[in-house]
C-alpha cells in the first residue's frame, strides 16, 4: 500500500467563527487562525487543519448556505487573508482542508436568484423545480432535515423548489451538466490557491431519485411515533444517496487527481451511513479518499461497544481503503460533556492510537465542555427555529486564557466562553503536566514517532477482562499495544512492555506481565 500524507495525518477541525478574533469584533476570522498556526503545528503537533465554511453567506446556517463559492465573507477577511494562511501553514508543514457544500447553495446565491426569476431562465434547471401536486400541495412527501416539507412554493413562478435543509438552502441539480461543471470549477479555484483537500458537507444528499417518488413511511411502531421526529418517520429511499452519486464522486476525484501531480490532494465526505453502504463511497479507489465514520460519536461506552465499532469498520473496508474516526464536530455535543472528563481522556487516547486518520475538534484537546445557551441568547438559526436542537453549545469560542473573552477576543465574543474553574484554557493547561492538553500533546508526539501507530495494522487482543478493549498496532520491526479500561473499577491486565503514554501519570514504567489500570484509564505500551 502506498501511504500519502493523509494516511498518517491527524486532522484538526477549526470553526472559524470561534477560533481566534484578530480585529476585535468578537468573531473569529482567517487572520486569527493564521496567528495561531504555531500553536497547531508546534505546541499541539497536528498535521492538517480543516476549516469550516468561510465563504460569502447571509448566515442562515452560519456559512453552510453559500452565496459565493469562490470568495471570502468579509466577516472572516479576504482572499488575501486566505492566501496568507495557506502560505504560512505550508511553511509550518500543515496541510489545509476546506469545507465544500455540494448539495445546496444559499437562496441568495446569484445562480438561484437567476433560477427563480422565471421558468425559462437559462439557470432554471440548475436547481430542482417541480409543479405542485394536483391539489396544489408539495410534489411529494419529502421532509427537510431541519423539519417541515422539503419543498417551498415560489409564488412568482408557481413551482416548488427543493431544499433538503433550510428553505434558504435550495438544492443544486447535479443532473444539469452546466451546473456540475460550474461546481467542479469551484474546486479548481481553491486547488489553484493551494488547498490540500476538501471536506464535503452532507454530500450523499446531492443525488436524488430522478423520478422524485415519495419516500415509504415507517410502519406505525407499537407505541406510536412519539419518539420519532417527522424526518425519522420516513424511510429515506428516494431523497438522498441515489446510485448516481458515485458518478459525482468519481468526477470530484478526477479533479483532485488532476492536481495531485504536484502533491497528493484529499477528500473526506460527511456521510451518516453504516456498514457496506457507507463503505461503498470509497468506490474502487476512485471516489472519496474517506467517507467520515461517526460510529464513535454515541454509544453505551463499554469495551464491547468500542471493539464492535472498530471491528465492524475494519471488516467492511474495501481492499486498500483507509479507516477514520471522529469524536466531535460542530454539530455534536462536546465529548467531555457527552461522556465525562475522565472518559474524554481515554477516548482521546483511543482516537489517536487506532488505525486510520483521526479528526480532533477544536477545543477537545482542552476538554472544553458543552455550553448551556439560554433560548433568548441562541445564535444558531436552527436552534432558534427548533428549541432544544441548537448547536451553539459546541461552537463556543476557543479558550486561550482565563478571564473575559478567554483570550479569543478583546471585545464581547459572539458566544460566551465556558471556563468556570479557569482551567479549560491553553494557558493554564500548558502549565499543568497532567492536563488534557498535555496528554493530547504527548499522544501526538508518541504517534508521530511510531510507524506502528501511524500506519501499522490493527489486531484486537483477546483474553482480556470484560471491561478492557485492547489492540495491537504492528508494522515490520515495531509493535505497540493499547489497553483501555471502560469499567468503573480498577483492573489488572496481562501485558508486558514500556508505558509510552497513559491517561494519568500514575501509570508509568514497565509492565512486567501485568498492567494496573484504574477506572476509565488507558495506556499505550511498546512491546
Phi-psi region of 23 (alpha: psi -120 to 50; beta: other; left: phi over 0): alpha
Cell (9 digits) for 259: 492536481
DSSP code string of 176-212:
SHHHHHHHHHHHHHHHHTT--EEEETTGGGS---TT-
Q: What is the DSSP string of 65-98?
A: S-SEEEEE-TTT--HHHHHHHHHHHHHTT-EEEE
- All residues at 6 or more sequence positions from 328 whose CB lies less than 8 Å from its CB, including other chains: 297, 334, 335, 338, 361, 364, 394
Spatial contact of 360 and 351, defined as CB atoms under 8 Å apart: yes
C-alpha cell at 70: 469562490
SS3 of residue 513 by DSSP: coil
Give the alpha-carbon dihedral of 498, 500, 504, 508, to 10 degrees.
30
Residues 6+ apart with CB under 8 A from 438: 429, 430, 432
Catalytic site residue 270? yes
Q: List all residues 6 or more positions away from 363 whose beta carbon is below 8 Å from its beta carbon.
A: 334, 398, 399
Residue from 47, 168, 270, 332 carrying the catalytic annotation: 270
What lies within 8 Å, CB to CB, of 147 at 6+ separation is 229, 230, 231, 385, 386
- Render the burial of 264-288: b for 16+ CB within 10 Å, e for the rest: bbbbbbbbebeeeebbbbbbeeebb
Let me know if 201 is a catalytic residue: yes
Q: Of the listed 73, 81, 171, 201, which one is catalytic?
A: 201
Residue 180 phi, psi (nearest 5): -60, -45
The residues assigned a catalytic role are: 201, 270
Amino acid at each position: 500500500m502506498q501511504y500519502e500524507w493523509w494516511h498518517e495525518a491527524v486532522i484538526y477541525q477549526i470553526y472559524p467563527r470561534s477560533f481566534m478574533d484578530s480585529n476585535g469584533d468578537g468573531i473569529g476570522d482567517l487572520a486569527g487562525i493564521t496567528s495561531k498556526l504555531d500553536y497547531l503545528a508546534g505546541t499541539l503537533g497536528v498535521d492538517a487543519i480543516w476549516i469550516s465554511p468561510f465563504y460569502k453567506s447571509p448566515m442562515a446556517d452560519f456559512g453552510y448556505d453559500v452565496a459565493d463559492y469562490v470568495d471570502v465573507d468579509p466577516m472572516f477577511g479576504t482572499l488575501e487573508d486566505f492566501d496568507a494562511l495557506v502560505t504560512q501553514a505550508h511553511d509550518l508543514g500543515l496541510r489545509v482542508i476546506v469545507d465544500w457544500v455540494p448539495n445546496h447553495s444559499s437562496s441568495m446565491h446569484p445562480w438561484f436568484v437567476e433560477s427563480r426569476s422565471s421558468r425559462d431562465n437559462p439557470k432554471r434547471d440548475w436547481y430542482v423545480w417541480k409543479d405542485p401536486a394536483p391539489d396544489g400541495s408539495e410534489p411529494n412527501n419529502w421532509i427537510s432535515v431541519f423539519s417541515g416539507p422539503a419543498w417551498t412554493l415560489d409564488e412568482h413562478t408557481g413551482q416548488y423548489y427543493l431544499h433538503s435543509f433550510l428553505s434558504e438552502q435550495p438544492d443544486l441539480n447535479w443532473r444539469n451538466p452546466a451546473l456540475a461543471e460550474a461546481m467542479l470549477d469551484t474546486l479548481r479555484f481553491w486547488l489553484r490557491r493551494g488547498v490540500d483537500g476538501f471536506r464535503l458537507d452532507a454530500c450523499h444528499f446531492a443525488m436524488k431519485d430522478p423520478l422524485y417518488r415519495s419516500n415509504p413511511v415507517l410502519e406505525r411502531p407499537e407505541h406510536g411515533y412519539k419518539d420519532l421526529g417527522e424526518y425519522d418517520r420516513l424511510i429515506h429511499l428516494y431523497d438522498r444517496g441515489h446510485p448516481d452519486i458515485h458518478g459525482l464522486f468519481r468526477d470530484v476525484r478526477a479533479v483532485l487527481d488532476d492536481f495531485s501531480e504536484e502533491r497528493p490532494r484529499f477528500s473526506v465526505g460527511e456521510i451518516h451511513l453504516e456498514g457496506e453502504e457507507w463503505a461503498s463511497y470509497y468506490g474502487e479507489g476512485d471516489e472519496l479518499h474517506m467517507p467520515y465514520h461517526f460510529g464513535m460519536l454515541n454509544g453505551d461506552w463499554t469495551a464491547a461497544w468500542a471493539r464492535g465499532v472498530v471491528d465492524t469498520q475494519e471488516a467492511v473496508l474495501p481492499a486498500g481503503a483507509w479507516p477514520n474516526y471522529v469524536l466531535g464536530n460542530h454539530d455534536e455535543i462536546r465529548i467531555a460533556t457527552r461522556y465525562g472528563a475522565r472518559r474524554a481522556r481515554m477516548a482521546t487516547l483511543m482516537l489517536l492510537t487506532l488505525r486510520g486518520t483521526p479528526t480532533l475538534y477544536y477545543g477537545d484537546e482542552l476538554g472544553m465542555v458543552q455550553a448551556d445557551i439560554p433560548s433568548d441568547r441562541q445564535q444558531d438559526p436552527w436552534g432558534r427555529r427548533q428549541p432544544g436542537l441548537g448547536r451553539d453549545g459546541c461552537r463556543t469560542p476557543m479558550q486561550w486564557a482565563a478571564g473575559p473573552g478567554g483570550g479569543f477576543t478583546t471585545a464581547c465574543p459572539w458566544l460566551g466562553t465556558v471556563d468556570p474553574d479557569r482551567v479549560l484554557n491553553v494557558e493554564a493547561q500548558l502549565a499543568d503536566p497532567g492536563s488534557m492538553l498535555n496528554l493530547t500533546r504527548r499522544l501526538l508526539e508518541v504517534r508521530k514517532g511510531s510507524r506502528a501507530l501511524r500506519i501499522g495494522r490493527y489486531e484486537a487482543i483477546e483474553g482480556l477482562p470484560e471491561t478492557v478493549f485492547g489492540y495491537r498496532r504492528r508494522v515490520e520491526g515495531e509493535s505497540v499495544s493499547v489497553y483501555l479500561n471502560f469499567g468503573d473499577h480498577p483492573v489488572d491486565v496481562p501485558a508486558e512492555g514500556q508505558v509510552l503514554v497513559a491517561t494519568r501519570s500514575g501509570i508509568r514504567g514497565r509492565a512486567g506481565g501485568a498492567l494496573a489500570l484504574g477506572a476509565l484509564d488507558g495506556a499505550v505500551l511498546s512491546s
